[in-house]
Amino acid sequence: MTQVATPALREWIVSQTAAGFAPEQVLSAMVTAGWEQGLAETTLENTLRDHLRSHAKGAVAAAMRPEISAQLADKQSSGVAVPTIAMGNSPRVVDVGDRQVAILSSMASPRVVVLGGLLSDEECDALIAAARPRMARSLTVETKSGGEELNESRTSNGMFFSRGESELLKRIEARISRLLNWPVENGEGMQVLYYGVGAEYKPHYDYFDPNEPGTPTILKRGGQRVGTLVMYLNEPACGGGTIFPDVGLEVAPQRGNAVFFSYDKPDPTTRTLHGGAPVVEGEKWVATKWLRAGVFE
């Protein structure tokens, strides 16, 4: 089949986007219609970029759901689309279907949003109870080889749930997907970490370093990480905040709350260097959800 970006196709792409379909959805419709994946991606990106350039940005953005126009703006700044919380008019709360989640604070660079009441106390307790018997010393993905390694900079214990492995996980995954406007299928299985007194996670980036030899292997499964959601499952008596050293930000670990941050390229200019500060007193439990650019199988 000859594949040409006719004016009709371009119009269709723009109208689908303006109607609120995410670029991923438009892309998958094109692929279903017989377009070759790479060509469809290029056509989609070029069409939307040209369209944004040739129209008064405000008018086009106003016709789109805010999170879509934010995603496109992200694309224009040479990065990729990232999970985005719809905060068009800077709301105090975001409706995620089964809950109202509070927006406690947000920052543009790094892109960080602190959320209140994402999980109920019961959900926090249930996650800890399900994770506790499965905990082991945390491994981090080893970009040198693509395997996993014990990492001295990470003294927490951890485990991964499989995506959709229980009704609880399914419910929380669906909520996160609505919150971040990102497909459930692009999420890694949720990770639970436990830190005792003195345990910490030294500052690091969550994306995979493109210069490491093992990274291409890792990227075959879902592409780069583009966002992180850290959910606090309990409250350490002292210490254990999530720190962003580039900007001197520390997020307090408050049960049921969460911190979300996104990175449109695997690069320090995203200023997403972050870590878990040492626990001084008590213990700390978090659940981390990493979002990939593509489907994570």
Cβ contacts of residue 130 below 8 Å, gap of 6+? Answer: 161, 166, 168
274 lines the binding site for ligand AKG (CB under 6 A):
yes
- Cα–Cα distance between 193 and 233 in angstroms, integer? 10
Cβ contacts of residue 76 below 8 Å, gap of 6+? Answer: 49, 52
Which listed option, Fe ion, ligand AKG, none, makes contact with residue 138 (CB within 5 to 8 Å by class)? none
Which listed option, Fe ion, ligand AKG, none, makes contact with residue 222 (CB within 5 to 8 Å by class)? none
CB-wise, 179 or 190, nearer to ligand AKG? 190
CB-wise, 228 or 234, nearer to ligand AKG? 228
Q: How many other CB atoms are there within 10 angstroms of residue 98's CB atom?
A: 11
CB of 50 to ligand AKG, least distance (A): 37
Q: Provide the token pair at 198.
A: 């003195």
CB-wise, 23 or 227, nearer to Fe ion? 227
Q: How many other CB atoms are there within 10 angstroms of residue 219's CB atom?
A: 18
Q: Are 242 and 277 in contact (CB under 8 A)?
A: yes
CB-wise, 65 or 274, nearer to Fe ion? 274
CB of 41 to ligand AKG, least distance (A): 28
Considering only 14, 131, 279, 286, the residue that binds ligand AKG (CB under 6 A) is 286
Q: Provide the token pair at 223.
A: 């592409």
- Cα–Cα distance between 54 and 56 in angstroms, integer? 7
CB-wise, 9 or 141, nearer to Fe ion? 141
CB-wise, 187 or 276, nearer to ligand AKG? 276
Q: What is the layout of strands, in order, in the sheet containing 249-251?
A: 201-204, 274-276, 242-244, 249-251
- Cα–Cα distance between 109 and 90 in angstroms, integer? 16
288 lines the binding site for ligand AKG (CB under 6 A):
yes
Which listed option, ligand AKG, Fe ion, none, makes contact with residue 276 (CB within 5 to 8 Å by class)? ligand AKG
CB-wise, 43 or 288, nearer to ligand AKG? 288
Span 224-243, contacts to ligand AKG by CB under 6 A: 228, 230, 242
In whole angstroms, how far apart are CA 52 and each of 17, 72, 134? 12, 9, 49
Cβ contacts of residue 26 below 8 Å, gap of 6+? Answer: 13, 16, 17, 44
Which listed option, Fe ion, ligand AKG, none, makes contact with residue 230 (CB within 5 to 8 Å by class)? ligand AKG
DSSP 8-state code for residue 277 = P
Stretch that binds Fe ion, among 62-70, 203-211, 260-268, 277-285 (CB under 5 A): 203-211
Residue nearest to ligand AKG (CB): 276
Span 167-226, contacts to ligand AKG by CB under 6 A: 193, 201, 206
206 lines the binding site for Fe ion (CB under 5 A):
yes
Q: What residue ranges bind Fe ion (CB under 5 A)? A: 206
Q: What residue ranges bind ligand AKG (CB under 6 A)? A: 193, 201, 206, 228, 230, 242, 274, 276, 286, 288
